[in-house]
Amino acid sequence: MAEESRHEARLIPTSGINGAEEQERRATSALLAVLSAVKEFGRGFVKPFGAPAGTLECFIEVPFMLGEQRLYPRRSDPRDPRLEHWTALVEVKTGPNQLMTQQLENYLDIARDNGYDAVITISNEIPAVAGQHPTKVDKRKLKKVALHHVARSEVLAEAVMQKEFRGVADPDQAWILGELIRYLEHTKSGALEFDDMGEARVGVRDQVTTGTLRATDKGIAEVVARFDALLRFASLQLGRQLGTEVVPVLSRKEAADPLVRAQALTQSLCTTGQLSGAIRIPDTVGHLVVTADLRAGRVTCHVDVESPREGRPTTRVNWLVRQLKNAPDGTRVEAFVAHARGSQAAELLSTVRENPSSLVLDPAKELRTFRLAVSGNPGTKRGRGRASFIDSVLSSVDGFYVDVLGNLRARVRRAPEAAPCERGADGHRHFRASGIGIDRLFIAGRRPGGRQ
């Protein structure tokens, strides 16, 4: 047998997948089996849905009757003898297949009739806001049963973080989780990356360029939702590489009501031609802000860095420059001073490296914040690949983190120095200032019989 025709034996093979139905069945069975086999991964998957800690049991192709219909949602059931059972029905879609309203409402009815707790959907659809479901259903059906959605890219990110960074105690279980990761990364598994900005993007971009875009125009809602979905995908991809939870930044109002976020983006796009959002990366000096300027044709990533509170202005600039050894010369550096609107000065990093004082227009004013920004040209294609908008944003985010944000460290403020003091015969500290004793000033403790 020719060596190139051989297939390495795998726990979850990708060979022999014929058609969407077989792809979906194999993907579902593989995921549910690994959820029940790898304790840490299974617990991490169901915990956000309110499931109790316990043994996870999973079943596929469980028949249920709804009227005269026989339906086959999957079932996930964490069991703990000390707690009531928590049961969820699982619906999985692969490839470009989307979830259907009628199907989900049927599953919600089945869950309600059987006293189950939730319906979980898994597909390649990425909602604009975390916690939002991509399919609209009758809200009355959600009174007794919760509806949750997990994008397949989220499943992959969670699996990688659990295996490579959080760890799996049992070596055999770690290997099993690795097999699932290998399967999900294979194109035949039906797991797709974010690969389309939607049909409306080109038309909306042209309207932005001509200044004719209005908030009520057809297609703007799709463009806004796709941009936020792209930010979520970029966060998942970066988090998978770093082994930490990277998430888009939302205000409380935006998290509670996705419409608030959509309206803000719509207004920004109509007035300035810009779409913008921030990403939170743990242990970094600030949020990574991504701005797509459709009018100017630029994609910009920036971060705001708090300046040290001590030292001369040029000393503070040098503190920043020393951390930017790997940053490109074309990085824009802006300096903001106290009690002033807008930046005091802006120069390219190449200029600041040669002349730190170029950011100090008035030495008497205190530098408070620096803004570092890197810009590039956005692609024009709606899909993936070279010269595509999606890839230009993803590469900008990754590059900005590697070259700029990942190398920055916040300034550790020096603790205030105490004045010279000595301990008196009564055991209390006595401060001395200019040779004059300040008697019985307590640092801590309580005077016997007196006030604190």
The count of domains in the chain is 3
Helices 220-242, 389-403: axis angle to 10 degrees equals 40
Q: What is the SS3 assignment for 388?
A: strand
42 burial level (CB within 10 Å; 0-12, 13-18, 19+): buried
Q: In terms of domains, do 350 and 214 share one?
A: yes
Q: How far apart are the C-alpha atoms of 290 and 236, rounded to whole Å?
A: 15
Do residues 215 and 193 touch, judged by C-beta distance below 8 A?
no
Q: Among the three residues 143, 163, 189, which one is the final residue of a domain in this structure? A: 189
pLDDT by 10s per residue, the chain, length 452: 444 556 567 788 877 677 778 888 888 899 999 999 999 999 999 999 988 888 888 888 776 656 555 555 555 666 654 456 889 999 999 888 899 999 999 999 999 998 899 999 999 998 877 788 999 999 999 999 999 999 998 999 899 989 988 899 999 999 999 999 998 888 888 777 777 788 888 888 889 989 999 998 888 998 999 999 899 999 988 988 888 889 999 898 988 888 899 999 999 999 999 999 999 999 999 999 999 999 988 999 999 999 998 889 999 999 999 999 999 999 999 999 988 888 889 999 999 999 999 999 888 888 999 999 999 988 766 666 677 888 899 999 999 999 999 999 987 666 555 555 555 566 555 544 444 333 444 344 444 444 44
Residue 412 located in a structural domain: no
Characterize the bridge pairing of strands 74-79 and 55-59: antiparallel
Q: Which residues contact 171 (CB under 8 A, 6 or more apart)?
A: none
| CA nearest neighbour of 209 among 291, 277, 270 | 270
Whole-angstrom Cα distance, residue 281 to residue 306?
Answer: 16
In-domain check, residue 196: no
- Looking at the structure, tell me whether residues 281 and 380 fall in a common domain: yes
Indicate the pTM of the whole model. 0.76
Task: Using alpha carbons, select from 58, 13, 5 the residue that is nearest to residue 182.
Answer: 13
Residue with tokens 């999900």: 184
d(CA 72, CA 384): 35
Residue 231 lies in a domain: yes
Q: Which residues pair with 75 in a beta bridge?
A: 59, 89
First to last CA, the chain: 88
Q: Would you mind telling me the total number of residues written for the chain in this entry?
A: 452
Structural domain including 45 reads 7-189
**211 & 347 share domain:** yes
Of 133, 157, 189, which residue constitutes the final position of a domain? 189
In a domain, 298, yes or no: yes
Q: Rounded distance, CA 252 to CA 250, Å?
A: 7
Pair 177, 304 in one domain:
no
Residue 2, domain member (yes or no) = no
142 and 291 share one domain: no
